[in-house]
Amino acid sequence: MSVNHKSLLSVLLSILISFSSSFSVLAEEEEIPAEQEGPDIQETVIPEQEETEEVSEIIEETPVEDMTETAETEPMETEEEVLQNEEAETAPEEVTEEESETELFAESTEDGYTWSAGTNGTAAITGYTGTDTELTIPAEIDGNKVTSISANAFKNKTAITKVILPEGMMQLYGYVFAGCTSLEEIVLPSTLTMIGDHCFSGCKGLKKINPQEGIVTIFAYAFENCTSLEEIHLPDSVTKMGYQVFLNDKALKTVNYPKNYNTSIDGYGANSYAFGQLFYGCTSLETVTIPEGTETIANYAFSKSHIKTIQIPDSVTLIGSYAFSECANLTEISVPGSVTKIDTYAFYKCTNLTDITLNEGLTQLQGFAFSSCTGLEEIKLPSTMGYVGDHNFYGCTNLKRVTIPEDLKTIYAYAFANCTSLEEIHLPDSVTTMGYSVFANDTALKTVNYPKSYNSSIDGYGANNYEFGQLFFGCTSLETVTIPEGTETIANYAFRNSNIKSIQIPESVALIGSYAFSGCTNLPEVSIPGSVTKIDTYAFSGCTSLTDVTLNEGLTQLQGFAFSSCTSLEEIKLPSTMGYVGDHNFYGCTNLKQVTLPEDLKTIYAYAFADCTSLEEIYLPDSVTKMGYRVFANDTALKTVNYPKNYSSSIDGYGANNYEFGQLFYGCTSLETVLIPDGTQKIADYA
């Protein structure tokens, strides 16, 4: 073999050996990660003896602030998933976001605590994988002060019986000890400021807990279903509590009210925007002590609780909305003179409340305050009250006696509506304003006076906005109302749709307001004294039983529709002081047979006597110069009518008939001839 051939063979062998070596190295590099990845992570994050379903549950349910400890084994979450976790499982956003920002990494201790370090030398306990049943949470880990326990950290650790939290601990997040059914005792530090939602939910063995002064906020359901908890002392530092904090704690008998508690926080999920009901389902809780120095009883504080008695100290100035609503076992309440305001629904539906004392000093009784208190029989309002709020005693079906102070000015809508046992009430003359349906459906009401200063109506609420009056709607036993001498105005809508059978109007009255007696279908007669100068629109409209109307001299203004649809009215005589007949004044008076108009009458407006289907004749004085559209339209029985010789001008109609004129006798099918007298100079346009 030549030298050249030997050299070539050597080169080829070198290339082959190099290629084989490279291939082996590549194969080894592929295998190394598979051998090393799992063991490294298990040793640093999860103690070697544990990889149970319970741990996986914690990981699965842990919100964003706790996810750093599982970052090496779990896929990265999207921003959307992080936000969803925060909303679903954590305490309020401002707290969870702060904790999330401080976490840098996660480690575990030898005794099974997993934890996350923060930026300022702090640490959060994020989980526990040990087996001890009595735990003393460390105050410090690797030089980091333990200040919080993250959500779900000890959730469903059913073997734990006792936990001692270290001084320096400030925050317990949502569900921290939830489902720890064997937990009997928890020792809380003086540094704790917050207990998160559901923190001890379902700790059925918990018998003792010692919240320390310094706690500010307790979130929703924090102690729900702690069915062995018999007593708890809440420090005065607590200012905020969430929805149903002690829900269904059936053994709870003794609890105090923190004197600085003044704010209710809503619940979660389906109960977002639901508040209070702190002691809902606490069937053994009969009394709560409210300490001297308390200024506010918070909204919803005792809503739907089982308390039977409550003592309100003289320091309280405000009883919040729904504070005692639906306390079905509460039998009596004395509101001290320090209380100036009882807010909406404060005692709503306290069905066994029979004794209420409202002392002098109360100025504001807001809407629905005592509504549906079906056991209440008597109420006396203090002289310091200037008004009765809407629906204040609505639905108090056993209320028999009401005492209203002499200086009261206003009674709002439905204030005493549906008080079906109320037989009489005295309204002081100081009352100037009343709302819609104040006494609606008080079916036993027989005697009531009319306040002589009452001159203004307020509308209703909700679907009844812009509805007025009907003070006595549905008062089927009310047959008469006394209007006292000195009354100057009968307010708009005052007796609308009531069942009164008689009314005496004193000589002092000058104005009968719009709709004042409209729809009084049982009213057979009315005499208007000479002091009345104006009867406003629809004042007696729809009084279908009205047969006798006396209008005395002095009346100058009879406004539109004043006696329209009074279907039983047969005769009307207008006084000489009237210069006109208003539009639709007797429209639809289908039994009207005789009309006497004054000799100096000048104007008859549109439809004044339209649809008076029984009217056979009418005399129009020559003084009439103007008439409106279809004054006698559809008077099908009208046979005889004269033409006023000075009638020279036509007035248009209303609404859809604006700019429509004349047609005075449109639809008068029995009218065949009209006499135009000598001296007539002009037959009016459209006559």
What is the Cα–Cα distance from 566 to 401, expressed in whole angstroms? 36
b/e sequence 535-569, b meaning 16+ C-beta within 10 Å:
bbbbbbbbbeebeebebeebbebbbbbbbbbbbbb
DSSP secondary structure of 257-325: --TT--EE---SGGGTT----TTTT-TT--EEEPPTT--EE-TTTTTT----EEE--TT--EE-TTTTT
User: Is the model's pLDDT at 458 over the cut of 80?
Assistant: no
> Which pLDDT score is estimated for 503?
93
Beta strands per DSSP E along 543-673: 548-551, 557-558, 571-573, 580-581, 594-596, 603-604, 617-618, 626-627, 640-641, 649-650
Q: CB neighbours of 481 closer than 8 A, spacing ≥ 6?
A: 448, 449, 450, 472, 495, 500, 503
Question: How many structural domains are present in the chain?
Answer: 1
Does 526 map to a domain? Answer: no
Q: 107 φ, ψ to 5°?
A: -140, 180
Least confident of 53-57, 228-232, 451-455: 53-57
Does 147 map to a domain? Answer: yes
Does 203 map to a domain? Answer: yes
Q: Find the helix or strand (DSSP H, E) in which 58 lies.
A: helix 53-61
Residue of higher predicted confidence among 91 and 340: 340
Expressed in percent and rounded to 5, the helix, strand and coil fractions of the chain are 15, 20, 70
Contact 346, 353 (CB under 8 A): no
User: Is the model's pLDDT at 647 over the cut of 70?
Assistant: yes
Dig out the tokens for 637 from the structure.
């029985």
Contact 621, 645 (CB under 8 A): no
Phi-psi region of 341 (alpha: psi -120 to 50; beta: other; left: phi over 0): beta
Return the closest-CA partner of residue 371 out of 404, 334, 413: 413
Task: Find the mean pLDDT for residues 289-316.
Answer: 91
What is the Cα–Cα distance from 537 to 559, expressed in whole angstroms? 5
Contact 196, 171 (CB under 8 A): yes
Beta strands per DSSP E along 400-448: 401-403, 410-411, 424-425, 433-434, 447-448
> Which pLDDT score is estimated for 372?
98
What CATH number is given to the structural domain containing 53? 3.80.10.10
Instruction: Give the pLDDT band of residue 377 (cuts 50, 70, 90).
Output: very high
Burial of residue 687 (number of CB atoms within 10 Å: 0-12, 13-18, 19+): middle
Residue of higher predicted confidence among 31 and 252: 252
The angle subtended at Cα 494 by Cα 571 and Cα 540, nearest 5°, is 15
Containing domain of residue 176, as a range?
41-210
Kindly calculate the radius of gyration of the chain based on its CA atoms and give it in whole angstroms.
Answer: 42
CB-CB neighbours of 653 under 10 Å: 20
DSSP 23: H
What is the Cα–Cα distance from 86 to 242, expressed in whole angstroms? 18
* pLDDT tens, residue by residue, 652-662: 666 556 556 67
Instruction: Give the pLDDT band of residue 18 (cuts 50, 70, 90).
Output: very low
Instruction: Give the pLDDT band of residue 440 (cuts 50, 70, 90).
Output: very high
- Compute CA distances 238 → 187, 241, 301, 405, whole Å: 18, 8, 13, 39
User: Is the model's pLDDT at 185 over the cut of 80?
Assistant: yes
What is the Cα–Cα distance from 627 to 678, expressed in whole angstroms? 20
Dig out the tokens for 153 from the structure.
């950290």
Least confident of 347-351, 597-601, 675-679: 675-679
Task: Find the mean pLDDT for residues 343-367.
Answer: 98
DSSP 449: B
Q: Find the helix or strand (DSSP H, E) in which 48 lies.
A: none
Average pLDDT over all residues of the chain: 84
Q: List beta partners, residue 512.
A: 490, 535
* pLDDT tens, residue by residue, 379-394: 999 999 999 999 999 9
Dig out the tokens for 8 from the structure.
């070539």
What is the Cα–Cα distance from 568 to 547, expressed in whole angstroms? 5
Does 681 map to a domain? Answer: no
Q: 335 φ, ψ to 5°?
A: -95, 115
> Which pLDDT score is estimated for 594?
97
Burial of residue 112 (number of CB atoms within 10 Å: 0-12, 13-18, 19+): middle
Residue of higher predicted confidence among 361 and 13: 361
Does 604 map to a domain? Answer: no
Task: Find the mean pLDDT for residues 431-438.
Answer: 93
User: Is the model's pLDDT at 163 over the cut of 60?
Assistant: yes
Instruction: Give the pLDDT band of residue 639 (cuts 50, 70, 90).
Output: very high
User: Is the model's pLDDT at 525 over the cut of 90?
Assistant: yes
Does 86 map to a domain? Answer: yes
User: Is the model's pLDDT at 671 over the cut of 50?
Assistant: yes
Handedness of CA 50, 53, 56, 62 (dihedral sign): negative
Residue of higher predicted confidence among 458 and 669: 669
Between the CA atoms of 361, 366, 372 and 375, what dihedral angle is there, to the nearest 10 degrees? 0
Does 158 map to a domain? Answer: yes
User: Can you say how many angstroms the Cα of residue 499 is from the centroid of all Cα atoms in its chain?
Assistant: 32
Does 288 map to a domain? Answer: no
Residue of higher predicted confidence among 27 and 200: 200
Residue of higher predicted confidence among 408 and 73: 408
> Which pLDDT score is estimated for 463?
55
> Which pLDDT score is estimated for 265?
83
Dig out the tokens for 195 from the structure.
């207990």
Contact 532, 508 (CB under 8 A): no
Which range of 43-47, 65-69, 216-220, 491-495 scores highest in mean pLDDT? It is 216-220
User: Is the model's pLDDT at 71 over the cut of 60?
Assistant: no
The helix-helix angle for 93-102 and 79-89 (nearest 10°) equals 120
What is the Cα–Cα distance from 446 to 469, expressed in whole angstroms? 18
